Structure 1
Amino acid sequence: MKGKNRIKNTMIFTVGLFAITFLQSCNSNTVSNKKVTNESLKTEKITPIVIGTWNFPKAIEAASQVLKNGGSALDAVEQGCRAEEANAENQTVGIGGLPDRDGNVTLDACVMNEKGDYGAVVGVQNIKHVVSLARKVMEDTPHALLSGRGAEQFAESIGFQQEDLLTESSKKAWEEWKIKSEYKPIINIENHDTIGMLAMDVEGNISGACTTSGLAYKMAGRIGDSPVVGAGLFVDNEVGAAVATGLGEEVLKTVGSFLIVELMRQGKSPQEACEEAIKRIVNKPNSNYKDFQVCYIAINKKGEVGSYAIHEWFSYNIYTNGESKNIKSDFYLKP
């Protein structure tokens, strides 16, 4: 019996030792495979991309320079928007923006980073770089959106300079408008009111920003889609991002940028998603889409981009592979 027990114990020990060795081997292979996978992700080369609504070459140059220097996507879109906020000749963004019907220049802006954090300001007067102020709201306050005098007080408290944003050129245009005081959005002109930018950096992270002086001669207090998360801008770093320009009221009604990102999550390309978002607007009952413009641009994690508009002549700037160019967008309302 002792001999049989000795053999039995030896067999149990041998089987147990084999099982432990097998499990250790499996664990070792699993860890090894994970390391290989992680290393392959780290070494995968990502081409930085920045895209922006309309043809703002100064903005695309400023943003692309940040990416060339290895900067973040958030830094890139902020610097790109700042370039146009400082451009007094651009009457739709920052200093020199066309005023509301009372003669006041009021600015809106928002930013959204790769973490899904969002910051915005609306109805701000006398502060030129509202895109940077929106970033400060996101990073330095417990809030996501500040408006009017409260946003201005916050800006003053952290050192933003105040200045008169109404230039002589914009003032003259406003005074000429007052003669008839007729409000009628002009496709691709008066609605050419926003610069929205999206970027992907060398780490593969996506961020976006949007800044505007809003529709010219709007009612005092009017806020469009540009600073509203999910409408004028939306970023999901797992999927992609989208930004809008055009008649903000129509973008707000369909939460256009969020819609585009969700469509990309479902497998649509940026181009397909932009086209579907425009169709949601034009197919609404009693839509008067022939009288206004809405445009979208989008990017996904693969670095693919898309754009679409209701009417012709919308274009966007893109920087990729070391080259910047302006591309005319496809559109819905064909002749």
Structure 2
Amino acid sequence: MSRRGLIGASAVGAGLLASAARAGEGATTLSKPCVISTWDFGIAANQAAWAVLSKGGRALDAVEAGARIPEQDLKNHSVGRAGYPDRDGHVSLDACIMDEQGNCGSVAALEHIAHPISVARRVMEKTPHVMLVGAGALQFALEQGFPREELLTDESRAAWEAWKKDAKYAPRANSENLDYRQTSGQLGTPGGAGNHDTIGMLALDAAGNISGACTTSGMAWKLRGRVGDSPIIGAGLYVDNEVGGATSTGVGEEVIRNVGSFLVVELMRQG
């Protein structure tokens, strides 16, 4: 998608998120706190986030709590421990988180850790870095006390074995979302061929501060080591406490090319 096309496709969501961020200024009827996220499984994620926000909790805590819900959902093959593997059978996870002060952390190509969003927060709070990847991210997670786990579930392994029969080593667009809806009984049908199932989440707390989180297992059957937009600040997620926030779900390569989330926030800044 071109930059112009991305701008057009983002207009409605950008307006909503900008309105949420400006709610305290009386610009809209939206009230604080509030939370928004992507896809059907965002409903349960929002409930977890709202449990934090409704008690006066911080938006950063809310988005982490919310993102952890699909990460642990064994029916969700696009986020967290039950995610579909790469073409060689390895489950690798990506996530990032960002708070109202511009602090951010992320992990990419992280294996054997079920909650990458929480590791991303530790990167933000415990290191001078923004992103850790691969073996280094795993080493850091283990040092921080996160348990090492086998993430390839029996169901995901079966799907991988079935996919290998055709020996077509190319990611299949939207496969995770289709499978999730069929097995979970969620309403609706998948969107366009370019849609995938990263969960992006933005929350505004009672103090008027915004934070965001984004977490995914990436494209099913991807090349090992492939990383999309989800853990990249400015691509998969960006928040600005004065303007609002944006998060992305889709084909990561296209969002990276456009620095999509940052672009949307900058458009909101310009009015």
Structure 2 distance, partners of 1:184, 1:155, is 28
Q: CA–CA distance in 1 between the matches of 2:172 and 2:77? A: 15
Match of 2:3 in 1: none
In the alignment of these two chains, the number of paired residues is 225
1:83 equivalent to 2:69? Answer yes
Q: Does 1:49 align with 2:34?
A: yes
Match of 2:207 in 1: 203
So what's the TM-score if we normalise by structure 1? 0.65
Distance 2:87 2:114 in 1: 20
Distance 2:243 2:167 in 1: 44
Tell me, yes or no, if the aligned pair for 1:100 and 1:219 is still in contact at 8 Å.
yes
Match of 2:148 in 1: 162
One-letter code aligned to 1:211: T
- Residues 206-229 of structure 1: per-residue CA shift (max 9 Å, x gap): 000000000000001100000001
The Cα shift of 1:172 comes to 0.3
Q: Which residue of 1 aligns with 2:106?
A: 120
* Offset from partner CA, 1:290-333 (integer Å, 9 cap, x none): xxxxxxxxxxxxxxxxxxxxxxxxxxxxxxxxxxxxxxxxxxxx
What is residue 266 of structure 1 aligned with on the other side?
Answer: 270
What are the Cα deviations for residues 235-288 of structure 1, in whole angstroms up to 9, with x where unaligned?
111110000001000001111100000000001xxxxxxxxxxxxxxxxxxxxx
Contact 2:94 2:116 survives alignment (8 Å): yes
Q: Which SS does the other structure have where 2:214 is aligned?
A: strand
Higher strand share: 1
Quote the sequence identity (%). 57
**C-alpha deviation, 1:58, in angstroms:** 1.6
Aligned partners of 1:84, 1:162: CA distance in 2, in Å? 19
Say which SS state the counterpart of residue 50 (structure 2) adopts. Answer: helix
Q: Does 1:95 align with 2:53?
A: no
- SS at 2:215 equivalent: strand
1:216 corresponds to: 220
What is the aligned-residue RMSD (CA, Å)? 1.6
Q: Which residue of 2 aligns with 1:132?
A: 118
Q: CA deviation at 1:186?
A: 2.8
Task: List per-residue Cα deviations over 1:76-97 (Å, max 9, x = no partner).
Answer: 1000000111111100011110
Code of the residue aligned with 2:46 in structure 1: it is: I
CA–CA separation in structure 2 for the residues paired with 1:226 and 1:181:
27
* Match for residue 106 of structure 1 among 92, 101, 104: 92
Contact 1:46 1:204 in 2 (8 A): no
CA shift at 1:103, angstroms?
0.1
Mean CA deviation greater in 187-196 or 217-226: 187-196
Deviation at 1:178, TM superposition (A): 0.4
SS at match of 1:95: helix
Distance in 2, matches of 1:108 and 1:126, equals 12
Cross-structure match for 1:304? none
Structure 2 spans left out of the alignment, 5+ residues: 1-23, 179-194
Give yes or no for contact 2:63–2:211 (8 Å, CA) kept in 1.
Answer: yes
Alignment match, 2:167? 181
1:202 is displaced (CA, Å) by 0.1
Give SS of 1:163's match: coil
Counterpart of 2:32, as a letter, is T
Structure 1 counterpart of 2:234? 230
Q: Secondary structure at the match of 1:245?
A: coil
Do the aligned partners of residues 132 and 184 (structure 1) sit closer, same or farther apart at CA in structure 2, a change above 3 Å counting? closer
Find the aligned partners of 2:174 and 2:95 in 1 and give their Cα distance. 22
Distance 1:217 1:198, change over 3 A: same
Residue correspondence of structure 1 range 256-335 to structure 2 within 5 A:
256-267=260-271
How far is the alpha carbon of 1:60 from its aligned partner?
1.0
Secondary structure of 1:222 counterpart? coil
Unaligned runs of 5+ in 1: 1-39, 268-335
The Cα shift of 1:184 comes to 4.9
Match of 1:13 in 2: none
Query: Aligned to 1:68, which of 36, 54, 57?
Result: 54
SS state at 1:137 partner: helix
The structural deviation recorded for 1:187 is 4.4
Q: Note the C-alpha offset of 1:46.
A: 4.9
Q: Does 1:141 align with 2:145?
A: no
